[in-house]
Structure formats: C-alpha cells, structure tokens
Amino acid sequence: MTQNLLLWNGNVITVDDDHPRAEALLITDGRIAVVGSNEEVCRLKGEGWESIDLHGKTVLPGFIDTHVHLMATASVSAGIDLSEARSVEEVLEKVD
C-alpha cells in the first residue's frame, strides 16, 4: 500500500548545507519526495493524502545504527548449534 504523507508547519532539518532548514516535506512511496516551505510543498499535496501539522516540532533525518556489540551477541549466540545447518534459511530458523 502506497502511503502519501504531508508534514508541514515544522522545523525540518535537511542536512543540506545550502538549505539547512525547511518547513514542510512530502513523503511518497516511503521516500521523501519534496522538501521546502509550507507554501511550496503544501500546494503539491494530492487528493487523499494524509496531512500532519507538526505545530513547530522538529523532523530529523533517519538514523540507522547497524553496529553489533560483539560480546553481547556472542553470549546470546553461544547456545545456538549451527553445525548441521546447510543453508542460510536453516541458520535463520535456528537463530530466530
């Protein structure tokens, strides 16, 4: 299901040195499509789109933390016997 979302009247941190802040953004298909002022972004909103007034709240870029704490992961995994696993699917079944 495609979700189209307008976030407006906010403090959008863009991480773009040329335009570090914006007021609104449009999200379509799970991706930010447009960032800018309330005026320029709100006029692009399509029919049936969800709209959220941020009332000045801040929107930050997404953060993805992909690191692993090796010792904690090792201690949790110590009881898993993968010696007979013959495929990725079998490993995933045992780990899950």
Span 57-85, pLDDT tens digits: 999 887 777 777 877 777 776 778 888 88
Q: In this structure, is residue 65 part of a structural domain?
A: no
Half-sphere exposure for 53 (CA within 13 Å, toward CB)? 1
Question: Strand 24-28 to strand 4-8: parallel, antiparallel, or no bridges (unpaired)?
Answer: antiparallel
Place of tokens 């090796």: 70
The domain in which residue 20 lies consists of 4-59
Query: What total of structural domains would you count in the chain?
Result: 1
Span 21-55, pLDDT tens digits: 999 999 998 889 999 999 999 999 888 889 999 99
CATH classification at residue 42? 2.30.40.10
User: How far is the C-alpha of 6 from the C-alpha of 44, rounded, in Å?
Assistant: 9
Q: What is the pLDDT of residue 46?
A: 84
Average pLDDT for residues 91-95, to the nearest whole number? 84
Q: What is the pLDDT of residue 2?
A: 56
